[in-house]
Amino acid sequence: MTAIEIKHISKRYGKIRALDDISLKVDAGEIFGLIGPDGAGKTTLFRIMTTLMLPDSGSGTVCGLDIVKDYAGLRRIIGYMPGRFSLYQDLSVKENMDYFATLFGTTVRENYGTIKEIYSQIEPFADRRAGKLSGGMKQKLALCCALVHKPSVLFLDEPTTGVDAVSRKDFWNMLFRIKASGVTIFVSTPYMDEAARCDRLALIRDGSIIGTGTPSEIVSGFPFRLLSVRGSRMYRLLKELRNIPGVISCFSFGDSHHVTYDPAVTDRVRILARLSDAGFGDCTAMDIMPCIEDCFMWLSGRRDVPTAGQDGLRA
């Protein structure tokens, strides 16, 4: 069953093209990730899907309701957690919860089962003002407020931006439990490592979708071979690798360099021999499978866009 379907959505802000002909389909019950850097158009797409903004062109439905005509009904069945903390800072944790529950004509008690697991972690601070909570607790409160009316679809706009690596993993574990309760989750992130945790995802850059599918489908679409190279003088090695014929690109990936090469021109043995000739005899290299980040970088570069388009929101 389809939970979200949007077709040919475009949006401009004056001369700036924020979204360009976006089409997506999200199945009910899945975690769908919208993956891309700042300025790619993620928040604009969220606002359109949550009826907070009208598209210039294109159409869409969430749970069968039209994102323009049925906005009132649609708002009742979705939960939305915006990127910026948008709860009432001067209200307490409990007051915020009651307020959002009342807005949706329900009570915290009635839906306690849905939010229990997350809410129990912030309940000890029920009387604290939201503005006085730590970042992690604000995030949990925002998530509870977005879930308090048992939405069918949960929209999370960059819930983990600026969040440390450990807390990000905790947050994703919460998402899996929410998913298990039958909620469809549409989540955006600039962190490529979170992509692998989605059932399906769309890669977005400069207002366009540059790739979509399951994580393994996206990885299997990578057309070149990839080598992981390690050595002692990593920065020098990076520059040397880029000069080798057949090497398409080379970037740092943690403690190794990922070298994309054209197998018709070169291979692992030849690359290692070239490195050895250049004085990098202590290198090791291993053919590896690409990760989503490799694919994103390849798909970004493939588009016939001058580098001046990097910032996204440009005409």
Query: Of the two residues 26 and 229, which places its CB atom closer to other proteins in the complex?
Result: 229
Cα distances (angstroms) measured from residue 251 to each of 15, 67, 216: 33, 41, 22
Examine residue 15 and tell whether it contacts other proteins (CB under 8 A): no
CB of 212 to other proteins, least distance (A): 17
Q: Which one, of 33, 25, 110, lies nearest residue 60 by Cα?
A: 25
Among residue numbers 63 through 102, which ones bind other proteins (CB under 8 A)? none
Kindly state the smallest distance separating residue 255's Cβ from other proteins, in Å: 4
Complex with other proteins: residue 58 or 312, whichever CB lies closer: 312
Contacts of 252 (CB under 8 A, 6+ apart): 234, 238, 258
Position among 251, 262, 268, 272 found at the interface with other proteins (CB under 8 A)? 251
Q: The tokens of 53 are what?
A: 């903004």
What is the distance between the alpha carbons of residues 24 and 22, in angstroms, rounded to a whole number? 7
> Counting contacts by CB under 8 A, is residue 314 touching other proteins?
yes
| Shorter beta-carbon distance to other proteins: residue 65 or 226 | 226
The label of the residue with tokens 């599918």 reads 213
Helix (H) or strand (E) holding 249, with range, is strand 247-253
Question: Taking CB under 8 A as the rule, which mask of x and - marks residues 125-154 in contact with other proteins?
Answer: ---------xxxx-----------------
Please give the residues from 185 up to 204 whose contact with other proteins meets the rule CB under 8 A: 190-192
Residues from 37 through 66 that contact other proteins (CB under 8 A): 37-40
Q: Which CB atom, from 66 or from 293, has the smaller least distance to other proteins?
A: 293
C-alpha dihedral, 128 to 132 to 138 to 144, nearest 10°: 20
CB of 72 or CB of 315, closer to other proteins: 315
* Minimal distance, residue 17 CB to other proteins, in Å: 14
Per-position b or e across 149-176, b if 16+ CB within 10 A of its CB: bbbbbbbbbbbbeebeeeebeebbebbe
Minimum distance, C-beta of residue 275 to other proteins, in the bound complex (Å):
19
The H-or-E segment that residue 6 falls in is: strand 2-13
Q: Which residues bind other proteins (CB under 8 A)?
A: 36-40, 134-137, 158, 161-169, 190-192, 205, 234-235, 238, 251-255, 293, 296-297, 300-301, 307-312, 314
